[in-house]
A and B are shown apart, each in its own frame.
Chain A
Amino acid sequence: MFIDVAITLLKIAFVFGLVLNIAGILGWAERKQSAVMQDRIGANRADILGLRLFGLFHPIADIVKVITKEDWIPPGGDKFLHTLAPFLALFTALAVFAVIPFGDTLHIAGRDIPLVIADLNVGILFVIAFGSLGIYSVVLAGWSSDNKYSLLGSMRAAAQVISYELALALSVVGVIMAYGSVELDDIARAQGQYVLGIIPYWGVIAQPLGFLIFFAAAMAETKRTPFDLPECESEIIGYFTEYSGFKFLAFWMGEFIEVIAVAGVVTTLYFGGWQVPFIDSQGFFVPGLFTIPLPHLLVVVIQVTAFILKVCFFCWFMLLVRWTLPRFRYDQLMGFGWKFLLPLAFLNVILSGVIFMSFEG
């Protein structure tokens, strides 16, 4: 009993420590990435005793700066809701990580430890549920600010999130069909199979169209360019205009945590989760030829590292997309969601159903 609780706490500490650290580094990476793409130098000034380290101290400097800023609540606004909203944003983004498996079951000292915080049998639906609860932080932030433009920004945001949620949820149906389970753990495990003996049967192989729909819709859910109309940090007014100091940072971190969450879910659903091609619990193998046995602990470490690397890759990829594409116009955004992604997601469900049925039958 006691050991179980300790193990769960350790897993929570590992996952949250990892996520929050990646989120902090993403803040630096985003600036550096944009600088590289725009032929600038980027964040490199923060130093400790003259040591600059490519500006990697900037996240720390940011935190110090933000915490020492004045915390401003609009006099006409609602104090309680104004304070609640940024923390809701953090909470709903972080809760998603509870069901994302980051490694195969660890066998150690006679125990089987599944490397996922909460092995719920609703799996991916839990992710969707917390994704849809994320709307409240946006809506409450805009409403409690007592600012017409914040209110309009939050309306835009809510409309966008609701619209893209449909395509997001529908594109997941294809993955559920392919692996016959909604549990993320089962889905990750099922991706260890091979097509024709050599191609890993990852979600992106089984569901190429579904992956594109999911990724586009998920990017819209994180409210980043090209879907960043709700925020429009660079010029017009969004829902967190009236926020300052630590609460603004909470929204900012919430956005980066959402990016990591999307990267984690995409990795788990479409890129094999913790699977590494040609390495399984027996060790490294070349199909049909030979196997080099590896110790269990090493295999688990390799798989967890692979999962983290894949997540980092997708975080980076989303930064790349952000600084490459211009923003949608509002009517284009709605048209893209309702008239293109949603029908495509329906088509994907029908096509997947027909294909899987004909392969089985």
Chain B
Amino acid sequence: MELIQFYIVAAITISSAVSVIMQGRVMYSILSLIVTLLSVAWIYAILNASFLAVVQVILYAGAIVVLFVFAVMMLRYEEIEPQRMRTGLIGCLGLLVALFFIFELILSSATGPFVEEATLSADFGSIKSVGAILYTQYLVPLELASILLLVAVVGAALFSKRG
């Protein structure tokens, strides 16, 4: 049952991710991206990481992609871009990055620690357990990340004042 569910979600994720780069129209690319992000959230939910799944929906699908949509709405773009799959320097760089990630994926799946029947604690992935780890073991990285976000917010406010 879980396996069937996983294969369905994985198929949706990959096909929508392919659709993001193959679509001729930018708005449909973005919609495919939303589907990809939502199905990744579904995978998290299958893996019992319900908090991560919800945060994925709130932050990525609900906030970040909305900014993409905003930008597309404001820009006047050609109805069908003839050259979405660009060759040249950028294409080569993209290929290089893709190859690097494929290599990394193979490497980690060959050497990574896999457990056949992993047992989870009862509150695995719940907000309480995630919070407890974040605010004890990973307190310093968390605070540093929040300072980074604060800098970004102040920067955005500054730019809007100048513009």
Contacts and interface: CB of A to CB of B under 8 A. Distances in A.
Contact of A122 (B62, B69, B127): B127
Given A125-B58, A158-B70, A136 B50 contact: no
A81 B62 contact: no
Contacts of B70: 139, 155, 158
Contacts of B58: 125, 128-129, 132
Nearest to A133: B62
B17 interface: no
A243 interface: no
B66 A158 contact: yes
A154 B66 CA distance: 12
A151 interface: yes
Given A78-B27, A132-B62, A155-B73, A121 B57 contact: no
Interface string B69-104: 110010000000000000000000000000000000
A162 B127 CA distance: 24
Q: How many residues of B sit at the interface, in one of the four size bands?
A: 10 to 19
B54 A143 contact: no
Contacts, number: 54
Contacts of B69: 136, 139, 143, 158
A81 B34 CA distance: 14
Contacts of B66: 135-136, 139, 158, 162
A111 to B, nearest CB: 22
A127 B37 CA distance: 18
B146 interface: no
Contacts of A122: 50-51, 53-54, 127
A141 to B, nearest CB: 12
A132 B56 CA distance: 12
B34 A136 contact: yes
Interface string A220-250: 0000000000000000000000000000000
Interface string A54-79: 00000000000000000000000010
A129 B126 CA distance: 16
- Of B50, B55, B58, B70, chain A has the most CB atoms within 10 Å of the CB of B58
B147 interface: no
B22 interface: no
Contacts of B53: 122
B61 interface: yes
A120 interface: yes
A182 interface: yes
Nearest to A130: B57
A126 interface: yes
A120 B73 contact: no
A143 B73 contact: yes
Contact of B126 (A81, A121, A132, A158): A121
16 contacts: A121-B127, A122-B127, A125-B51, A125-B127, A129-B54, A133-B57, A133-B62, A135-B62, A136-B66, A139-B66, A139-B73, A143-B69, A154-B73, A155-B73, A158-B69, A162-B66
Given A121-B50, A121-B126, 16 more contacts: A81-B31, A121-B127, A122-B50, A122-B53, A122-B127, A129-B54, A129-B62, A135-B66, A136-B69, A139-B66, A139-B69, A139-B70, A151-B73, A155-B70, A158-B66, A162-B63
Interface of A: 78, 81, 120-122, 125-126, 128-129, 132-133, 135-136, 139, 142-143, 151, 154-155, 158, 162, 182
